[in-house]
Amino acid sequence: MRRLLLAVLALFLIFNQFPAGAQDPVEEFFDLISLDTRDDGGVYTITDEQGNVLMRTARHVHVGDRWIGMDNRRWVVFDVEGDEATAKRAGQGSQSWLQRVRALILGTFGPATPVQQQETTEKKIGIYSTHGAESYVPNDGTDSVPEGGGIIDVAESLKAGLEQDGVTAIQSEETHVPHDSNAYKRSRNTAQELLSDGSDAVIDVHRDAIAAEEYLENGMVQIQLVVGRQNQNAAANQEFAEKLKSIADEQYPGLVKGIFAAKGNYNQDMSPRSLLIEVGTHENDKGGAEESVTKFADVLSTALYGSAEAAEQTEKPAATASGGTVWRTILWLLAIVIVGGGAFLYISAGSWEEMKKKLKGFTQGEFGDLFKISLKNREDDDQH
């Protein structure tokens, strides 16, 4: 079917049979085949190269999509055949060792601060649902309610949880129906309004459409974080998602199922702190989903504004551990310089023997003369 569609698109492009002012054919084509979630009831299964299941989702899966599981192992999809996708282990991030050193230095001497630092500054988060008709069958009796499904109730629970933490939460109850390829174009206006209102972050609340057990951990309804990997804010939003998962892993272990970096935009080009969350599935209990999203509100609040405990610690004098961290960083930097310098010297020398000669010449030459001068100066001081 996809090959047929590609052939039809090619014919249209060849004969240029598009009236003036019509939508770009390529954009329209990919709007149709790249719906964010399946509408045929099917489910994608992502496995590793040995066939072990990593995750399942009703969201479309493409080559290049990335997955971070509960155990924080990273995977990248390299093959998709029908409903089956295969992923391989990805490197521990895409940063070079120089970037890691830079991050270490910044983390020690100039740690990232929350969005807001002063209690007088308003804390504000925007909440909306692109697929506002999504529902929870056990409670709503159906998986979709065009007038506003159970997902609106879950989003309202997120709002209530944020307000309990002293955060102003603005929720749009617009449903953006129908659930088609234009839903994100309609919800884009909603996201823009929330951002124009001064929201520090915007959260698009969804639910998945797979078996209930896929989103259950110790009886708790889980939340999956989704990042659109096709926009200029993808790296920032990925970092935001990973920060949220890290905090959630400490505060509520198992709450976050994982992070799925999927093909698409999801309007996340509008803010570096924009995120799509899937709270359970259509088969999960809505009450459980509401409890989980209330916990997630604590995670959001901590990530963006810091916790009360953290605020108390920052008011105390610098702890000894802080100084220890600085010295550990300095030692790491010295080690890196020594190892890097040694590697450079070996490469420039071409062999161990030449490297030894250069080191010997250096210690007996400039460095040796410097040592002799220092020793002579000390002897002169002793005589006086």
How many whole angstroms separate alpha carbon 144 and alpha carbon 187? 17
Residues 175 and 309 in one domain: yes
Residue 68, in any domain of the structure = no
Question: Does some domain include residue 360?
Answer: yes
Pairing of strands 256-262, 66-68: antiparallel
**Residue after which a domain boundary falls, among 295, 313, 331:** 313
Q: What is the dihedral of CA 337, 342, 344, 348, to 10 degrees?
A: 160
Q: Classify residue 330: in a domain, yes or no.
A: yes
Same domain, 273 and 339: no
- For residue 25, the model assigns a pLDDT of 45
How many independent structural domains does the chain possess? 2
Question: pLDDT tens-digit profile of 159-189?
Answer: 999 999 999 999 999 999 998 879 999 999 9
Q: What is the mean pLDDT of residues 63-77?
A: 97
Q: 16 lies in a domain?
A: no
Note whether 344 and 228 are same-domain residues: no
> Which residues, other chains included, contact 42 with Cβ-Cβ below 8 Å and sequence gap of 6+?
58, 83
Residue 38, pLDDT score:
81
Strand, coil or helix: what is 344? Answer: helix
Residue 208 · residue 284 · CB < 8 Å = no
Q: What are phi and psi for residue 263, nearest 5 degrees?
A: -60, 130
Q: Are 300 and 339 in the same domain?
A: no
State the Cα–Cα distance between residues 366 and 370, nearest whole angstrom.
6
Q: Which domain holds residue 334?
A: 323-383
Pair (123, 246) in one structural domain: yes
Residues 188 and 337 in one domain: no
Is the residue at 201 inside a domain? yes
Residues 136 and 275 in one domain: yes
341 and 212 within one domain: no
Give the dihedral sign, CA 84/230/127/142. negative
377 part of a folded domain: yes
Lowest mean pLDDT, pick from 14-23, 87-96, 142-151, 348-357: 14-23
Quickly state the pLDDT bin for 40 (edges 50, 70, 90): confident
Residue 296 has pLDDT above 80, yes or no: yes
CATH number assigned to the domain comprising residue 265: 3.40.630.40
* Predicted TM-score of the model (pTM): 0.69
| H/E segment holding residue 289 | helix 286-305
pLDDT the model gives residue 164: 97
Place of tokens 């509960």: 70
152 residue type, one letter: I
337 plus 194 within the same structural domain:
no
Domain-terminating residue out of 261, 279, 313: 313
Give CA–CA dist 379/179, Å, rounded.
87
For residues 221 and 338, membership in a common domain is answered with no
Domain boundary among 286, 313, 340: 313
83 assigned to some structural domain:
no
> What's the whole-number mean pLDDT along residues 102-122?
46
CA separation for the pair 319, 313 (Å, rounded): 9
Same-domain check for residues 201 and 344: no
Q: Does residue 241 lie within any of the structural domains?
A: yes
Which of 31-35, 54-58, 380-384 tops mean pLDDT? 54-58
Q: Strand (E) positions, 172-212?
A: 201-208
Query: Do residues 333 and 284 share a domain?
Result: no
